[in-house]
Structure 1
Amino acid sequence: MVSVAIDLVQLPMIPAFSFGLALSAEKGVAELETRSMADVSWRPPRACSDYWEEWKNCKSIRNRFHYYYTYGESPSCQQWKADYLNCREWEKKMNVESRAALCESERKRLEERQSYSLVWEMRKRPPPDWHLPLDYRKPNE
């Protein structure tokens, strides 16, 4: 029989999804943390690379010019970077605070996007004069 020694200091966090347990190797001591299945299998709303790409796009010269032209001020890209760092923290250490911060950030982003009203009013039926030529109101010259 062959026995294999495992150096626990070099082991990353290995989630054991089938048992709802996570094997953590912090400070050389193996800890068996009991977590619910929802905690272990939770994924961020977006991939971490998406947060990184959004941050890079926000910091680009083209976006800065467009944002300044549109709103008259420079864009604030700190939230994208904070979300990226929280996402990486969740993936590496399954930090609950990072998870909560990501959820709150995405919730605020969705609320902000839904708070804008539509530009065009939706019609229930076409206007009564829809079939007339476009210049019917001009006097004939």
Structure 2
Amino acid sequence: MMRNFNEVVSKPPRVCEDYWTEFRHCKSLRNRFHHYYTYGAMPSCQQWNEDHNNCKQWEMHRSPEAKEALQKSERNRVAEQKNFTPVWQLRQEPPRDWHMPLNQEKPQDS
């Protein structure tokens, strides 16, 4: 069966239930405590709720405003993830002695 291009484009980037799950996780006591302990402030979960509502509007009513808002939110989320630098420097090539056996018999200094 051949799919129409508009059918593929008209689907949200994620399943709407994913946004609801993220919202519930964000509002959970454990996450709120962890976020407050780590960052000193409560997490803002409103965007997940708005994304869920926009996703439902997009699926049920094919709302162009909801579609644009959801796509913008996803683009912002991806751009925000790119702002974090990795903890470790990524290797460009393996170490020179990668083929040597590990020295596991090394005596312990007492």
Q: Which of the five TM-score ranges fits, normalised by the shorter chain?
A: 0.7 to 0.9
- The residue type paired with residue 62 of structure 1 is R
- The residue type paired with residue 42 of structure 2 is S
Aligned residues: 103
Whose strand fraction is larger, Structure 1's or Structure 2's?
A: 1
Q: CA deviation at 1:40?
A: 7.8
Q: CA deviation at 1:39?
A: 6.8
Whose helix fraction is larger, Structure 1's or Structure 2's?
A: 2
* More moved, 68-77 vs 116-125: 116-125
Taking CA–CA contacts closer than 8 Å with sequence separation of 6 or more, which of the two structures ends up with the larger relative contact order? 2
Q: CA deviation at 1:69?
A: 1.1
Give the match for residue 29 of structure 2: 61
Asked whether 1:105 is paired with 2:62, we answer no
Q: TM-score, normalised by structure 2?
A: 0.77
Alignment identity in percent? 45
Query: Quick one: which of 89, 95, 100 aligns to 1:126?
Result: 95
SS at match of 1:66: helix
Following the alignment from structure 1 to structure 2, what is the Cα–Cα distance between the partners of residues 39 and 125? 45
Which entry has the higher C-alpha Rg, 1 or 2?
A: 1
Q: CA deviation at 1:38?
A: 2.1
Query: Quick one: which of 17, 27, 45 aligns to 1:49?
Result: 17
Following the alignment from structure 1 to structure 2, what is the Cα–Cα distance between the partners of residues 46 and 40? 12
